[in-house]
Chains A and B, each alone.
Chain A
């Protein structure tokens, strides 16, 4: 589904990703862990097509297409979703209006019938209920005045509504209390299916108690330096990232 090979990317002239490779198949959940500044958000942003990043080498294919040549909205319609580490407040843009515009734009791009406002309201109200979101969410402006936790949950809510095929969650767990964390995990787990994949970027092992990953990767200094199964996350929690760096260093020496 997603194949990243030897990806090099820079921002503001500074190389951040330095030869990152990763393969994700339908149905899989990959966790990406790593210290601050390792390039985790950069990876998510490059996948979603955020302007400003320059890919200098390597390739990313998604369903056999060259993902890097597609506009962000085209990627979204193709099923790529990024839950932002820092969701954006958009004063003056009503949530209902925004969500309907997004869903219908995606449907239109895929050649599907657009939803009329009745159909959409029914759908979105159901999701609000399922996800335990505050009912006034739909009358508010996008993320405006939301607490940090509300913003993160709103990302997962949008994901549930848009039903992407490849979801990248960028530290959706940070700043959440345990209840909110469980809600986020429930949202993700409810969407898990054989034809959908997740890349869960996190700083802490805690989220992975609730979203059990198939693979765990350690991203450090722009590369994946270690991969394993869910137990790797626990080792990291116990030993810290320095341990991984030493291991990688030792390997390189060997």
Chain B
């Protein structure tokens, strides 16, 4: 038997057999799913020999059997306070334990030129346009992406027609509810903005504290020329949640991706964000922070490829770890031949609040073009004693002073979040996390 076949792999293989996935029927899709499953079984989960998984071990996860999805997810009652307040009254698509929930979503008032539907429905109605996306796999796929290709039963399909500028943000909400067993689900999402289109997307991850599961999410994002996507991820998943996300983004000429992330929850919160600046003057900005405590593990990989001339990337991230938490931040800027005039920057600062916490940060530059500006910087440090004393000398108690400084440390990563109510929401979430850390 293959060494890669752990209890996790076995359980996924077993789960795949009886699954009737939406869109079953088109031969190309069934074939692609079978092939991907086979490839996954051969390859298994990524291990730490894989450069991109160097500091995130999946050994424990690999030893656990998982069920495929959660059979009653489509009907389960959802405590209303789990739904993010900022998504109230907004265009919204909601998934509970991996299942699309029409009853919680708000898709009936979409502006012209906006398609927003669950993948399950898109596959039933019109599978053919998805063939390119779902039909084959590539060498860049790791075990999770393969598994996602094999088993993804749902996801978000968002298309904005050329020239359409959507004023109001669109919210995607992933809710994790506790279920008897360790469930795994796989969601595949497609975001496609036509030339000159623009939209703001807000992605929420929320969950019950005891909801143990694996959510395996793959996003394909395509921004045609002059398109602009604002994308904010607010991750407050439950303490037992494992989130593995991979996003592949391609930007055309003058396209712009403005990404923000606040990673507060989860037991394992991984995001591999790959951005391919294909077009000339394509621009990618990312700002993000993780704030961890207990035994949380967060791993963000920002992998930028400059292909277009004068393309720009600018990433600024903050990490905070308390308790026995572990943070991993990897920023890689690859400037390919032909991307002359590219300008790439990756800056990451981290705070360790306890001697048992650990943060690994690795910026990397690889440059094969001319007249390129590329900068990176990464630090790991502790709260500044001088600042702490200054605050205390004015009467502010130590625990509050520590929280003020942690919050301040993260501020630069959050300043650009728009609109203002969303930024305030993020600030509130961050503040409410702080008694857990820095106390």
CA distance A149 to B378 in the complex (A): 32
Most chain-B CB neighbours within 10 Å: which of A52, A72, A81, A97?
A: A72
- Chain B residues with Cβ under 8 A from A158's Cβ? 394
B387-410 residues with Cβ-Cβ distance < 8 A to A are 387, 389-398, 400-401, 404-405, 407-410
CB within 8 A of A73: which of B387, B398, B404, B411? B398
CB within 8 A of A77: which of B389, B395, B408? B395
> A163 → chain B, closest Cβ, in Å?
11
Query: Does B139 interact with chain A (Cβ within 8 Å)?
Result: no
CA distance A194 to B182 in the complex (A): 71
CA distance A88 to B405 in the complex (A): 13
Query: Does A105 interact with chain B (Cβ within 8 Å)?
Result: yes
Q: Give how many A-B residue pairs fall within 8 Å (CB-CB).
A: 77
Contact check, B389 vs A51: say whether CB atoms are below 8 A apart: yes
CA distance A91 to B406 in the complex (A): 11
25 contacts between A and B (CB under 8 A): A48-B393, A50-B389, A71-B392, A71-B398, A72-B389, A72-B393, A76-B395, A82-B393, A84-B390, A88-B387, A91-B408, A91-B412, A92-B411, A93-B408, A97-B404, A101-B396, A101-B400, A102-B394, A103-B395, A105-B395, A105-B396, A105-B400, A109-B395, A158-B394, A162-B394
CB-nearest residue of chain B to A52:
B385
Most chain-A CB neighbours within 10 Å: which of B386, B393, B400, B404?
A: B393
CB within 8 A of A102: which of B385, B389, B396, B409? B396
Chain A, interface size category, equals 20 to 34
CA distance A97 to B412 in the complex (A): 17
A78-116 residues with Cβ-Cβ distance < 8 A to B are 81-82, 84, 87-88, 90-93, 97-98, 101-103, 105-106, 109
Contact check, B389 vs A73: say whether CB atoms are below 8 A apart: no
Q: A88-B387, A90-B408 are in contact. List 14 more A-B contacts (CB 8 A).
A: A49-B392, A49-B393, A73-B396, A77-B395, A82-B393, A84-B390, A88-B386, A90-B390, A92-B411, A93-B408, A98-B391, A101-B400, A102-B395, A109-B395
CA distance A202 to B401 in the complex (A): 29
CB-nearest residue of chain B to A143:
B390
CA distance A90 to B385 in the complex (A): 12
- Chain B residues with Cβ under 8 A from A87's Cβ? 390
> B248 → chain A, closest Cβ, in Å?
33
Most chain-A CB neighbours within 10 Å: which of B386, B395, B411?
A: B395
- Chain B residues with Cβ under 8 A from A109's Cβ? 395
Contact check, B395 vs A90: say whether CB atoms are below 8 A apart: no
CB-nearest residue of chain A to B406:
A92
CA distance A84 to B397 in the complex (A): 18
Most chain-B CB neighbours within 10 Å: which of A76, A77, A97, A162?
A: A76
- Chain A residues with Cβ under 8 A from B412's Cβ? 91-92
Most chain-A CB neighbours within 10 Å: which of B387, B390, B398?
A: B390
- Chain B residues with Cβ under 8 A from A76's Cβ? 392-395
CB-nearest residue of chain B to A159:
B394
Contact check, B395 vs A51: say whether CB atoms are below 8 A apart: no
Contact check, B385 vs A88: say whether CB atoms are below 8 A apart: no
> B393 → chain A, closest Cβ, in Å?
5
A residues in contact (CB < 8 Å) with B: 48-52, 71-73, 75-77, 81-82, 84, 87-88, 90-93, 97-98, 101-103, 105-106, 109, 141-142, 158, 162
CA distance A102 to B395 in the complex (A): 5
CA distance A141 to B389 in the complex (A): 17
CA distance A106 to B386 in the complex (A): 20
- Chain A residues with Cβ under 8 A from B408's Cβ? 90-93, 141
Contact check, A162 vs B395: say whether CB atoms are below 8 A apart: yes
CB-nearest residue of chain A to B390:
A88
> A31 → chain B, closest Cβ, in Å?
21
- Chain A residues with Cβ under 8 A from B407's Cβ? 92
CA distance A102 to B404 in the complex (A): 12
CA distance A49 to B387 in the complex (A): 14
CB-nearest residue of chain A to B392:
A72
CB-nearest residue of chain A to B386:
A88
CB within 8 A of B385: which of A51, A84, A91? A51
CB-nearest residue of chain A to B409:
A92
- Chain A residues with Cβ under 8 A from B389's Cβ? 48, 50-51, 72
Contact check, A93 vs B395: say whether CB atoms are below 8 A apart: no
Contact check, B392 vs A73: say whether CB atoms are below 8 A apart: yes
- Chain A residues with Cβ under 8 A from B400's Cβ? 101, 105
Q: Which 4 A-B pairs rank lowest in CB-CB distance, beginning with the nearest?
A: A92-B408, A76-B395, A106-B395, A92-B411
CA distance A97 to B405 in the complex (A): 12
CA distance A87 to B394 in the complex (A): 12
> B431 → chain A, closest Cβ, in Å?
11
- Chain B residues with Cβ under 8 A from A106's Cβ? 395
> B289 → chain A, closest Cβ, in Å?
12
B182-198 residues with Cβ-Cβ distance < 8 A to A are none
B380-438 residues with Cβ-Cβ distance < 8 A to A are 385-387, 389-398, 400-401, 404-405, 407-412
CB-nearest residue of chain B to A45:
B389
- Chain B residues with Cβ under 8 A from A81's Cβ? 393
CB-nearest residue of chain B to A76:
B395
CA distance A84 to B404 in the complex (A): 20
Contact check, A105 vs B390: say whether CB atoms are below 8 A apart: no
- Chain B residues with Cβ under 8 A from A50's Cβ? 389, 393
CB-nearest residue of chain B to A91:
B408
CB-nearest residue of chain B to A109:
B395
Contact check, A105 vs B397: say whether CB atoms are below 8 A apart: yes
CA distance A82 to B393 in the complex (A): 7
CB-nearest residue of chain B to A78:
B395
> A191 → chain B, closest Cβ, in Å?
16
CB-nearest residue of chain A to B385:
A51
- Chain B residues with Cβ under 8 A from A97's Cβ? 404
> A93 → chain B, closest Cβ, in Å?
5
CB within 8 A of A93: which of B393, B397, B398, B405? B405
CA distance A11 to B200 in the complex (A): 54
CA distance A142 to B390 in the complex (A): 10
CA distance A180 to B394 in the complex (A): 23
CA distance A52 to B391 in the complex (A): 16
- Chain B residues with Cβ under 8 A from A141's Cβ? 408
